[in-house]
Chains A and B, each alone.
Chain A
Amino acid sequence: MSERHFRVWRGDSEGGEFVDYTIDVEPGMVVLDCIHRIQAQHAEDLACRWNCKAGKCGSCSMEINGKPKLSCMTRMNTFGPDETITIQPMKTFPVVRDLVSDVSFNYRQNARIRPLKPRPRGKDGEHRMYQEDVDRVQEFRKCIECFLCQDVCHVLRDQDAMERFTGPRFMIRLASLEMHPLDTDDRVPEIRDEFGSGLCNITRCCTEVCPEHIGITDNAIIPLKERVVDRYYDPLMWLMRKITGRK
Chain B
Amino acid sequence: MRDINELQTIEHDVLVVGAGGAGLRAAIEASRLGLSTGVIMKSLLGKAHTVMAEGGMAAALGNVDDRDNWKVHFRDTMRGGKFLNVWRMAEIHAKDAPERVRELEDWGAVFDRTRDGLINQRNFGGHRFPRLAHVGDRTGLELIRTLQDAGVHNGIDFHMECIGVDLALDGGRVAGMLAYWRDTGRFVLFKAPAVIFATGGAGKAWRVTSNSWEYTGDGFGMAYRAGAELMDMEFNQFHPTGMVWPPSVRGTLVTEGVRGEGGILKNSEGVRFMFDNIPERFAAETADSVEEAARWLEGDRDARRPPELLTRDVVARAIRKEVKEGRGSPHGGAFLDIATQQPADFIKRKLPSMYHQFKELAEVDITAEPMEVGPTLHYYMGGIRVDAITQMTNVPGLFAAGECGTGLHGANRLGGNSLSDLIVFGARAGQGAKQYLDSLSGTPQPQGDHVNDLIDEVVGFLNREEGENPYVVVDDLQVAMEEHVGIVREGRELEEGIEKLAGLVERAKRVKAHPSSQYNPGWNTCIDLRNLLVSAEATARSALSRQESRGAHTRLDFEGEREDQLKYNNVVVQASDGSMDLRQEARPEPPEELARIAHASIEDLEANRV
Contact = CB atoms under 8 A, between A and B. Distances in A.
A and B physically associate: yes
Contacts of B248: 26, 28-30, 33
Contacts of A129: 110, 113, 117
B44 A49 contact: yes
Contacts of A28: 245-249, 361-362
B108 interface: yes
B516 A134 contact: no
Contact of A96 (B107, B183, B521): B183
The interface size bin for chain B is 35 or more
A111 B108 CA distance: 15
A55 B51 contact: no
Contacts, number: 156
Contact of A73 (B48, B116, B135, B361): B361
A52 B136 CA distance: 18
Contact of B357 (A39, A54, A96, A98): A54
Contacts of B212: 50-53, 57
B353 A56 contact: yes
A131 interface: yes
A70 B198 CA distance: 28
A46 B520 CA distance: 7
Given A28-B248, A53-B252, A115-B149, A58 B47 contact: yes
Interface stretch (A141-149, A194-202, A236-244): A141-149
Interface string A3-38: 000000000100000000000001111100100000
A47 B108 CA distance: 35
Interface stretch (B137-145, B166-174, B386-394, B411-419): B137-145
Interface string B110-135: 10110011100000000000000001
Contacts of B514: 44-45
B471 A40 contact: yes
Contact of A55 (B118, B246, B357, B522): B357
Contacts of A121: 106
A97 B518 contact: yes
B506 to A, nearest CB: 21
A227 interface: no
B246 A27 contact: yes
B118 A128 contact: yes
A103 interface: yes
A65 interface: no
Contacts of A33: 248
Interface string B504-540: 0000000001101011111100000000000000000
A33 B153 CA distance: 37
A143 B135 CA distance: 13
A128 B213 contact: no
Contacts of A12: 518
A51 B519 contact: no
16 contacts: A28-B361, A29-B248, A30-B248, A45-B520, A47-B518, A48-B521, A55-B360, A57-B51, A57-B52, A58-B46, A97-B183, A100-B183, A115-B107, A130-B117, A142-B141, A144-B51
Interface of B: 43-49, 51-52, 102, 105-108, 110, 112-113, 116-118, 135-136, 138, 141-142, 145, 149-150, 152-153, 158, 160, 183, 212-214, 245-249, 252-253, 353, 356-357, 360-362, 469, 471, 513-514, 516, 518-523
Given A54-B253, A129-B110, A180-B108, 10 more contacts: A26-B247, A29-B246, A54-B52, A55-B360, A59-B44, A97-B518, A116-B108, A129-B113, A142-B138, A142-B141
